[in-house]
Chains A and B, each alone.
Chain A
Amino acid sequence: MIAIIDYGVGNLFSVEKALLQLGAQVEVTNDESVIRQAQKIVLPGVGAFGDCMENLRASGLIPAIMDMVQQGYPLLGICVGLQILFEGSEESPGVSGLGVFSGTVRKIKAPGLKIPHMGWNSLDVAEPHQPIDLFAGLASIPYVYFVHSYHAVPADKDIITATAEYGETLTAAVARGNVQATQFHPEKSGDVGLDILKNFIQG
């Protein structure tokens, strides 16, 4: 069973439906015991970094999520669910993230371009060297759907598994060990997004 963490932010409907369409067993949950029974976890996130962290703290689910990560269960962060895996964000100074990855989240610098970076952009996928390769078997130029104004700047560049160009080189996906995350929305990225989610389910 894949647990989609429901901590009161964002629209979980599409993530749930996409995983169901791919044949996964899914529970949208805010119940710690369900999370601890899951084989995999999806950590979504929409809105401001600070609001997400505040809601997640208030939910009391952080210990369960961190235990599962430490025990090696696969986790997929999506959008702000990627960002909160880092230590902090320019968007919400003074608010600590989960700190699974070293580094911070910064405002996109794209002079002359519109912010948020909203729409379809192509991924430059790095050579796979992670246990789960989200990008296996994709089209040679995979396009995915983004909506964000901030992006992660990891201390260790080796965790970056995909980038996208928008005024500067943006972190589009990161991974280390059992923890995967995408800045874009695979559940809104058509066939390519479904293939990415399938790789997560099967990985």
Chain B
Amino acid sequence: MYTKRIIPCLDVKDGRVVKGTNFVGLRDAGNPVDLAARYDKERADELVFLDITASHEKRNTMVRMASDCASQVFIPFTVGGGIRTVEDMRIMLKAGADKTSVNTAAIKNPDLLRQGAEKFGRQCIVLAVDARRNGEDSWEVYINGGRTPTGLDCLAWIKKAVALGAGEILLTSMDADGTKDGYDIALTKAVSEAVDVPVIASGGAGNLEHFYDVLTLGKADAVLAASVFHYGQFTVRQVKDYLKSRGVEVRF
């Protein structure tokens, strides 16, 4: 059976994993490759590494981490943060990443999606979107880690990005992120119904039912979470056991 994916997200700064609440107040949670191996053992289906250093001189730290991860952990992983050009994508994919995610860079230069998809295949190109509600069934895209509004309508931007070459959407609700009150079901469902590529829901996981809700009511193909996993509130396996008990197909 085809399964829904559970994806721990590791925010990496200067080669170490951190995760904040609403992107402020970071706490150190360990070595990225060790954590990746632990998540693999727990049956995580995929991993996402977001480089929040993003200062250019430290890029090599992330390339080395991707290479170390691909040498030791044999499940798919995505690297995002600071990917601005097709050459940045090429370096990460060559280092062993399976996919690269772009956010701000794609808004500044949408053609990056087309170029990346043409060069590496659209399955390698993940579009990360940070969205905040600005009306009934309406969300606005934010950039720079959720600080800067763009004026772009979330659904319109995502449809355009998929037409250009985005192969998957990593969708973060700025309203839900860090609250532990649950994923943004309405946003996730709206995006999932608008495009034919997989949607990864992100932001707001606090209890087991939240995962179930966004995968069923929200129609997400995958769920991403960070702090609930890093700080041991749940293991990936507990989430999967729960989903299985509610009739959602997952991999063990």
Contacts and interface: CB of A to CB of B under 8 A. Distances in A.
B2 A14 contact: no
Nearest to B5: A119
Binding site secondary structure of chain A: mixed
Interface string B89-123: 00001111010000000000000000000000101
A22 to B, nearest CB: 10
B94 A13 contact: yes
Contact of A114 (B45, B75, B98, B196): B196
A187 B74 contact: yes
Given A114-B196, A143-B251, A145-B75, A13 B2 contact: no
Nearest to A148: B123
A165 B2 contact: yes
Contacts of B98: 11, 14, 188
B40 interface: yes
10 contacts: A11-B98, A14-B70, A114-B197, A119-B221, A120-B3, A143-B3, A143-B251, A147-B123, A190-B40, A190-B43
A46 B121 contact: yes
A32 B123 CA distance: 31
B198 interface: yes
B234 interface: no
B3 A121 contact: yes
Interface of B: 1-3, 5, 40, 43, 45, 67, 70-72, 74-76, 93-96, 98, 121, 123, 167-168, 196-198, 221-222, 251-252
Contacts of B196: 114-115
Given A114-B197, A120-B5, A165-B2, A11 B74 contact: no
A147 B94 CA distance: 18
Nearest to B3: A120
Interface in A14-30: 14, 17-18, 21
B96 A188 contact: no
A11 B94 contact: yes
A121 B2 contact: yes
A17 B1 contact: no
B71 A17 contact: yes
Interface of A: 11, 13-14, 17-18, 21, 46-47, 113-122, 141, 143, 145, 147, 164-166, 187-190, 193-194
Given A17-B96, A119-B198, A119-B222, 4 more contacts: A13-B96, A113-B2, A122-B251, A143-B251
A193 B75 CA distance: 9
Contacts, number: 79
Nearest to A46: B121
A190 B96 contact: no
B2 A119 contact: yes
Given A46-B121, A120-B5, A14 B198 contact: no
Contacts of B96: 11, 13-14, 17
Given A114-B197, A114-B198, A118-B198, A189 B2 contact: no
A18 B74 contact: yes
Given A114-B197, A119-B198, A120-B3, A47 B70 contact: no
Contacts of B252: 141, 143
A121 B72 CA distance: 22
Looking at B40, B72, B74, the one whose CB has the most chain A CB atoms below 10 A away is B74
B66 to A, nearest CB: 10
A46 B168 CA distance: 18
Nearest to B96: A13
A117 B198 CA distance: 10
Contacts of B45: 119-120
A187 B252 CA distance: 17
B56 to A, nearest CB: 24
Contacts of A11: 93-94, 96, 98
Nearest to B71: A17
A14 B74 contact: yes
Contact of B75 (A113, A118, A141, A188): A188
Contacts of B95: 13
